[in-house]
Amino acid sequence: MKLTLTLESLGLWGAGKETFKASTVTFKAYVPAIGGEVLAISGPYIKGLIRGWTYRIAPLLIRNKIIKGKLVSECTSASTCGECIVCKVFGYSGGVYSPIKVSNFYAIDPKFISEIAEKGLETSLLTLPNPWYSVETGFITHIRIDDVTGKVAPGALFVVEIAPPGTTFYGEIELMENLIVDVDVDDARRLLLASISQLNQSYIGRRSRGRISVIEVEPQDIFKDDFCSEVFSSMRR
Ligand SMILES: [Zn+2]
């Protein structure tokens, strides 16, 4: 599945420590075709966001008989059970492979979307020098005021690096259906898609909103499924 994500607000990502010196920096990833780094959202981060939604969506889909599958209420991303439908589709610690592969999402110039989609992300990163958008990130300084003293709280001045609204990112999500065990492939597709579509209703970074759009989907037979094709049509670019 080939996707774009366009920021509708300032994009804030990065490791969580808001300390005086170590600012929250947006993630950058290396692009061989330019021999340098571009602004990106890390694949594991996006996968984690989607998985978080899957925990919330799966019970609804099961209750409404859209998918079948086992739930384990104690299962979380941090402490996976290995038994529930989320673990079977996303993988779990101690498991062999995760059936879902999520690439980094790279900041691009939107006019190259179809060229990247046609070549695929991996080839594009190696061979296309032009699509990668060197976004000027900005910095915002935050100060936290101590409630008691009314002064700046110690260590509470921190800087976050931000990506401007309108920045478009390109990435790919693959469901490796041959690795899915004990779950119906159609159910796995429905669950994944419904969860991805939730990113449009939620924050995708710290106070960041974005719009996920689907550029291309394989295999095409996924459109034979009414539920999937309805979800897709809501995510057309
Ligand atoms: Zn689980």
138-190 pLDDT, tens digit per residue, is: 666 666 666 666 766 665 555 556 677 888 999 999 999 999 989 999 999 99
Q: What is the pLDDT of residue 207?
A: 64
pLDDT at 19: 39
Ligand 1 center to residue 53 CA distance, Å?
13
Q: How far apart are CA 7 and CA 213, in angstroms?
A: 11
Ligand 1: distance of its center to the CA of 71 in Å? 7
Taking the centre of ligand 1 as the mean of its atom positions, its distance from the CA of residue 59, in whole angstroms, is 13
pLDDT confidence of residue 189: 95
Tell how far the Cα of 72 is from the centroid of ligand 1, in angstroms: 6
Q: How far is the CA of 156 from the centre of ligand 1 (A)?
A: 37
Q: Which residues contact 3 (CB under 8 A, 6 or more apart)?
A: 105, 170, 171, 172, 173, 196, 212, 213, 214, 215
Residue 172: what pLDDT?
Answer: 95
Which pTM was predicted? 0.83
Taking the C-alpha atoms of residue 126 and residue 92, their distance in angstroms, rounded to an integer, is 31
> How far does the centroid of ligand 1 lie from the alpha carbon of residue 102, in Å?
19
CA distance 113 to 4: 8
Which residues in the chain show pLDDT less than 50? 14-25
Q: Which of 157, 178, 172, 183 is nearest to 70 (CA)?
A: 183
